[in-house]
Structure formats: structure tokens, C-alpha cells
Homo-oligomer: A and B are copies of this chain.
Amino acid sequence: MRYPEEHKDAVRSRIVEEASRALRKAGIDGVSIPALMKRAGLTHGGFYAHFENRDELVAEAVRFAANETGAGVFERARSLDEALGAYLSAPHVDAPEAGCVVAALGAEGPRQSAPVRRAFAWAARGLIDLVQQKLAPGRERARPSDEALEVTARMVGAVVLARLVDDEALGRRLLAVARRT
């Protein structure tokens, strides 16, 4: 059938968005192309009309997730404390599918193909830059400050550990100590 003008772009976006959530939830190897397409309301056949291969979708999903975190956690916050409050929160720990892609999938990044690795490097760098921006608003810097790097490392590590320890009280403490500025 002949579809309306921007139909294909809209469908592609929906695939990327759904994939972004599904991958953060189940891991990069945790969801098959048929499953991803079904989540977007399609069958697996049309996949290669939208993407060169699986990695192209994964890379795009990583970039989508990075933008989502930027918009949801950082642009919304008016101070670093506010951003840290959102990032280092129980809802974030409990909902990796809607959370930071670096914390959810970062450890898998270095093992991926070059295009996916590039997407991850971009996401990591973006996270550092967002922290830097909240740390010293307005001021533009050629490279992130030591403090921005340290805060970012603490944030990511605290979320990874809080998800891992399987001990709610300890998880809360991990988030709380990482919130100090």
C-alpha cells in the first residue's frame, strides 16, 4: 500500500524508541529482532527496510536513550542537586528501561561493534557534559572539569551497585552518599 508522506519516518522512530526501552530492560543481547518489531506493532520482515542491520538499530537506540536522559533528568533540573536527586533515586534504580543507558548497558558497550561503541562513547561523553553544565552553568569549557568527571563516575557507579546489591536499605544508602556535593 502507498503510505502517507512521513509514515516511514514515524514507524522508524517508534521502532527505535521501543527498542531503546526493551534493550535497556533486557540487555543488548536480550531481545531479538522479531521481539523488537512486535513491540512496535510490526512483524520481523520489514526490519531491513528500516535498518542496515541489527547494530544500526542498537546504536540508534543508545543515542535515543542518551537524549531521553538528557531531557528527562538534566534539562528539567534547575541545579546539580536536583539532577542528582532524580538520577540517584529509587525510581531510577527500579526502572532501568526508562533510565540512563550508561548505567543500564554501559558495561556491555566495550564489547560491541564499532558503530555501537561510538554511540556509547557519545552517550558517556554527553552524560559528563550534562553534569559539567549543571556544575558550572553557562560557562563553556573545552574539556570537562575534574569535578564533573568525579561526580559522573560516582553517579554511574552508585546506580550500578544499588541495582546489584539486592538489599534495599544498602541501595538507598549507596544513592544517598553519592548525592553529596
Residues of A at the B interface (CB closer than 8 Å) are: 25-27, 29-30, 96, 102-111, 117-118, 120-121, 123-125, 128, 143-144, 146-147, 149-150, 152-158, 160-161, 163-167, 170, 173-174, 176-178, 180
Contact = CB atoms under 8 A, between A and B. Distances in A.
A149 B111 CA distance: 28
Given A110-B164, A121-B167, A149-B173, 14 more contacts: A26-B111, A27-B29, A102-B160, A106-B107, A109-B164, A117-B166, A118-B166, A121-B164, A146-B173, A146-B177, A150-B177, A150-B178, A153-B161, A153-B177
Contacts of A108: 27, 107-108
A108 B110 CA distance: 14
Question: Would you call the interface of chain A mostly helix, strand, loop, or mixed?
Answer: helix
Nearest to A152: B161
Given A146-B177, A150-B178, A180-B150, A165 B26 contact: no
A96 B110 contact: yes
A28 to B, nearest CB: 8
A176 B155 CA distance: 16
A24 B118 CA distance: 21
Contact of A155 (B125, B143, B144, B157): B157
Nearest to A147: B177
Contact of A111 (B30, B106, B173): B30
A78 to B, nearest CB: 24
